[in-house]
Structure 1
Amino acid sequence: MKIAKITTQKNRQDRFNVFKVESGKEEYAFSIDENVLVQWQLQKGMTLTEEDITAIQAADQKRKVWNDALHYLTHSMRTEYQVIQYLKKKEYEEEAIEESIKKLKEYRLLQDEEYAMAFVRTKMNTSDKGPAVISEDLYQKGISKDLSEKALQQYTYDAQLETAQLFLRKKGKPKSNESSSSMKNRLLHALRRKGFSMEMALQAWENEQVELPVNEEIQAVFVQGEKAKKKWQKKYTGQSLRMKVKEFLYRKGFELSHIEHYLQYEMEVDEEDENEEKI
């Protein structure tokens, strides 16, 4: 193939279009990166063999992989796994990807350990996540177990406890007509979902002493009790209804003393009203 001319692409000043002479006419042949152009010293009138063209295009793809990898890394830190997956989606050949990854490591542009350390510090300072969730996040990004454990050493016991307690201070409020037991279970489970151990969650709860005011819990017992009574009073009466309501309130996590108070006060009043109506 004889090169007819080489022109700069309109939208990419670092890429060039190579044209060939075919049957006395100029035709587009292929495009290449500026570095490949310089490396091969391509110019008008040069004759290329099929082997030359294959080698040039292989070198060009490697350059494309390298440029795309660099562009991907300019926006934020990435893990080796993330860069590989990004390049694979572009359907580059494995050999070209491996070569770029190796070069990125040599230039210290790709360092999983540094990424893991920075990731843990960021999550510690900007989120309410516990170590288990952060570890899972690192795993999803391709960080090895050893590097993950090393990075999480930064997240000390005291730092975890502080984060867990801050979460309780922000979220430690009862829902409408909720028992203190239900509130505690809900918040402890929330901390577990955040990635804290049960030991850590319980310690944070004890330190914060999150409690539901007694008057609010008693009010909640009465509200929930009335709901249960209305639900079953057509099917049950007397002692059967009392037991059904008692079971319902107990499952809701209310203290027995508060449940008995409701049953004694509210349901006995209802029974007296029923007796008066019969008379």
Structure 2
Amino acid sequence: MEIAKITTQKKRTDRYNVYIFVDGKEEYAFSVDEDVLIKWQLRKGIILSEEDVVRILEQDEARKAWNDTLQYITHSMRTEYQIEQHLRKKEYEEEAIIRAIEKAKNYRYVDDLNYANSYVRTKMKTTDKGPAIIRQELKEKGVHLSFIETALEQFTPSKQLESALQFLEKKANIKRHDSSQAFKKRMLESLVRKGFSTDIALESWEASGISLPREVEKAAVQQSGEKAVKKWKKKYSGSELEWKVKEVLYRKGFSLSDIEEFLREQEMEDHGETL
């Protein structure tokens, strides 16, 4: 096939439309990147075989994949997996994707270990996330486990403890019905959900010195006890009601001494009977 003419695309001046003669008329054949155009020295009058066109299009595909890769990584660091998924969404051929990623690695535009190290440092400074959450996020970005573990070495136990303490200082909010035990349990569970180990959570809690004010807990046991009496007095009375209320309050984490004090102070009436 003979090239009839080559024109510059209106919206992409770095790409060119190639036309060939078909039955003496000019017809659009394909488009190519400027680099491919120069490499093949394409111009009017050149004769191309079908094999030439296949190779030109393969090289153009690779070039487009590379250009998209550069654009994708310009404003943010990316992992190999992220680049691969980005190119797959654009439906590039496997070979073009592989070549683009390899080229990016050769130029050190992508480096998963460096990415992991940077990611961990950023999360340590700007979030209250623990190692487990950061590890999972890096896995989802396709970073190899060995790189993840290497990067997480900088999140030392002492730094984890410091981060966990900061979390407790900001998030240790007291709820009206909290017992000391329930308050502690809720805060420890929050730390574990944030990605800290149970050991770090416990150590940070002890180091924080945070506790439920005595008057708050007394008000909580009073409120919870009255609610339990109201709920169960239609079904139970006397000692049965006492045991039921005691069971409810104990499950909520209140101490036996506080429960006994509530029961002594509180008159619970059920069909004329009191406890």
Query: For this structure pair, what is the TM-score category when the shorter chain's length is used for normalisation?
Result: over 0.9
Contact 2:238 2:273 in 1 (8 A): no
Q: Distance in 2 between matches of 1:4 and 1:132?
A: 62
Task: Indicate how the Cα distance of structure 1 residues 188 and 221 shifts in structure 2: closer, same or farther if over 3 A, else same.
Answer: same
Supply the AA of the counterpart residue of 2:63: R
Task: Indicate how the Cα distance of structure 1 residues 4 and 178 shifts in structure 2: closer, same or farther if over 3 A, else same.
Answer: same
Supply the AA of the counterpart residue of 1:102: E
Instruction: Give the Å deviation of 1:275.
Output: 5.6
- From 226, 247, 272, the equivalent of 1:274 is 272
Q: Secondary structure at the match of 2:91?
A: coil
Q: Distance in 2 between matches of 1:108 and 1:274?
A: 84
Q: Secondary structure at the match of 1:44?
A: coil
Give the equivalent residue in structure 2 for 1:237: 237
TM-superposition CA deviations, 1:49-96 (whole Å, max 9, x none)? 111111111110010111111111112101111111211222222222
Matches within 5 A, 1:10-29: 10-29=10-29
Q: Distance in 2 between matches of 1:16 and 1:76?
A: 30
Give the equivalent residue in structure 1 for 2:180: 180
Give the equivalent residue in structure 2 for 1:205: 205
Instruction: Give the Å deviation of 1:24.
Output: 2.1
Q: Distance in 2 between matches of 1:251 and 1:68?
A: 59
Contact 2:16 2:31 in 1 (8 A): yes
> With structure 2 as the length reference, what TM-score do the two structures score?
0.96
Instruction: Give the Å deviation of 1:160.
Output: 0.7
Give the equivalent residue in structure 2 for 1:4: 4
Instruction: Give the Å deviation of 1:249.
Output: 0.4
TM-superposition CA deviations, 1:212-236 (whole Å, max 9, x none)? 0111101001111111111111111
Q: Secondary structure at the match of 1:199?
A: helix
Give the equivalent residue in structure 1 for 2:148: 148
Give the equivalent residue in structure 2 for 1:195: 195
TM-superposition CA deviations, 1:99-145 (whole Å, max 9, x none)? 11111111111111110110000000000011111111111111112
Give the equivalent residue in structure 2 for 1:261: 261
Q: Distance in 1 between matches of 2:9 and 2:26?
A: 17
Q: Distance in 2 between matches of 1:160 and 1:270?
A: 49
Q: Distance in 2 between matches of 1:183 and 1:20?
A: 78
Supply the AA of the counterpart residue of 2:227: K
Give the equivalent residue in structure 2 for 1:118: 118
Give the equivalent residue in structure 2 for 1:58: 58
Q: Secondary structure at the match of 2:234?
A: coil
Supply the AA of the counterpart residue of 2:180: S
Higher helix share: 1
Q: Distance in 2 between matches of 1:145 and 1:271?
A: 63
Instruction: Give the Å deviation of 1:274.
Output: 3.1
Q: Secondary structure at the match of 1:270?
A: coil
Give the equivalent residue in structure 1 for 2:157: 157
Instruction: Give the Å deviation of 1:263.
Output: 0.8
Give the equivalent residue in structure 2 for 1:85: 85
Q: Distance in 1 between matches of 2:93 and 2:110?
A: 20
Task: Indicate how the Cα distance of structure 1 residues 51 and 158 shifts in structure 2: closer, same or farther if over 3 A, else same.
Answer: same
Instruction: Give the Å deviation of 1:97.
Output: 1.3
Percent of aligned pairs with the same amino acid: 54
Supply the AA of the counterpart residue of 1:75: H
Contact 2:79 2:111 in 1 (8 A): yes
Question: Cα RMSD over matched residues?
Answer: 1.5
* Uncovered stretches (5+) of structure 2, i.e. residues with no partner: none
> With structure 1 as the length reference, what TM-score do the two structures score?
0.95
Supply the AA of the counterpart residue of 1:71: Q
Give the equivalent residue in structure 1 for 2:41: 41
Task: Indicate how the Cα distance of structure 1 residues 46 and 203 shifts in structure 2: closer, same or farther if over 3 A, else same.
Answer: same
Supply the AA of the counterpart residue of 1:223: Q
Q: Distance in 2 between matches of 1:160 and 1:230?
A: 45
Q: How many residues were matched structurally?
A: 274
Instruction: Give the Å deviation of 1:243.
Output: 0.8
Instruction: Give the Å deviation of 1:237.
Output: 1.0
